[in-house]
Amino acid sequence: MLVSGFVRNEARLTFDILAASRRSGDSLETSMAAWARPLGKLTDAERFPAVTAALRAGELDTPGGPDDEFVFGLERILDGVEALVSARS
């Protein structure tokens, strides 16, 4: 369920950002930046210091392949599953 939910969420987010880009006529990069801006305003720096630091550093604005963030997230989830399985065996 965790992997399935992650994949569904990433697909939905990608679709939403692409649709916004097409509607506005803006580039994909501009639409991604427009999506990320409110995150920076809504993220509580005391509760989520690492996320806040990444947003302020423009981490979501850095170029990369379209699958880089997806692959990174999926690898972290699978690392966690592997750690759980190892701990239980």
Q: What is residue 46's DSSP assignment?
A: T
Average pLDDT along the chain, 89 residues, taken 10 residues at a time: 94 92 90 83 92 83 73 95 95
pLDDT of 64 reads: 65
- Say if residues 32 and 14 touch (Cβ distance below 8 Å): no
pLDDT of 22 reads: 95
What are the residue boundaries of the structural domains of the chain, listed by start? 1-62
pLDDT of 25 reads: 95
Task: Tell the residue number behind the tokens 């965790």, with chain if given.
Answer: 2
Counting beta carbons within 10 angstroms of the beta carbon of residue 40, is it exposed (0 to 12), middle (13 to 18) or buried (19 or more)? middle
pLDDT of 41 reads: 85
